Structure 1
Amino acid sequence: MEEGTKEHPWQLKTPPLTSDFTMHKDVKDGKEILVCTVGKTVLHYDYRCLADLHEMLKKHGDWMDLGSADEQKPTKDGTVEAWGRSETNPVGGWYGLKKGLRGRFGMYVPPLMEKLGFAEVTHEAKGNQIRAK
């Protein structure tokens, strides 16, 4: 059975390894998306974020802070979270697709990048980082 489907989602843990969540690929309004389920909360991210983030990390060439933050909170410059909502990224803004739940890109996308073999992620209590493989 193929992993990453609604019937067989990827089983993941947040970078500090404190919480479980799932992700799977789906299509909404003709667009490929990632569906991230954390408890009862469901977030959507543009599926192309995986390739775009991998490419950016390869160009960056070193470890990068994750910097996870809710949509309503500011991000720290130079983090994956800041890049995931920057007007200078390949989509020109948010990879998160559900208004009000567009943040936490730096918390939920990096573990999938690691699972898929695109990146390494640190697993400390705070201040986690990612780099491309």
Structure 2
Amino acid sequence: MENNIGTKENPMALKTPPLTSDYTMHLDTKDNKPILVCTVGKTVLHYDYRCLADLHAMLTAHGDWMELGSADEQKPAKEGTVEAWGRSENNPVGGWYGLKKGLRGRFAMYVPPLMEALGMVELTHDAKGNKVKAK
């Protein structure tokens, strides 16, 4: 597992794509599988660790900028966005990368900034409509 993502004791500090909110991300294990733990205020979200490699591979194949389209789990994701891909039956895990029922959305809000910090993607930082592209 990647040590540069941080630990529970020393998580990586990140900002949402519009640079308006702070959150942290660290690596942990659950049921003997690596997961990303995203803490936003008092809310804790979990994402399947393999989303980093899977999203990078999809963006590399896409070859151009893709809209993030972040949305809560209860709201539909806009087609053709990173958020829609992160919950699609056609992605490598066959559904949600988010692992906590009720809090599985916002994949496109929290995972791409981590990938940017790791040098895997380029990310825009506008007030709305941000996009991501593989490096």
**Which category of TM-score, normalised to the shorter sequence, fits these structures?**
over 0.9
The 2-side partners of 1:3 and 1:129 are apart by: 22
The 2-side partners of 1:40 and 1:113 are apart by: 23
Opposite residue 89 of structure 1, the aligned amino acid is N
Opposite residue 36 of structure 1, the aligned amino acid is C
Contact 2:5–2:27, Cα closer than 8 Å, also in 1 = no
Q: CA RMSD in A?
A: 1.0
Displacement of 1:6 after TM fit? Answer: 1.1
Displacement of 1:65 after TM fit? Answer: 0.2
Residues 1:76 and 2:75 aligned together: no
Contact 1:2–1:8, Cα closer than 8 Å, also in 2 = no
Displacement of 1:2 after TM fit? Answer: 5.3
Displacement of 1:97 after TM fit? Answer: 0.1
Opposite residue 40 of structure 2, the aligned amino acid is V
Residues 1:61 and 2:63 aligned together: yes
| 1:93 equivalent in structure 2 | 95
Residues 1:9 and 2:11 aligned together: yes
Contact 2:5–2:25, Cα closer than 8 Å, also in 1 = no
Which consecutive segments of 4 or more residues in structure 1 shift more than 3 A?
Answer: none
Name the SS of the counterpart of 2:9 in structure 1: coil
Change beyond 3 A, Cα 1:64–1:27: same
User: TM-score, normalised on structure 1?
Assistant: 0.98
| 1:110 equivalent in structure 2 | 112
Identity %: 80
The 1-side partners of 2:104 and 2:127 are apart by: 23
Name the SS of the counterpart of 1:43 in structure 2: strand
Change beyond 3 A, Cα 1:81–1:17: same
Structure 2: state its 5+ residue gaps.
none
Contact 1:68–1:81, Cα closer than 8 Å, also in 2 = yes
User: TM-score, normalised on structure 2?
Assistant: 0.96
Displacement of 1:3 after TM fit? Answer: 4.9
| 2:130 equivalent in structure 1 | 128
| 1:33 equivalent in structure 2 | 35
Count of residue pairs the alignment pairs up: 133
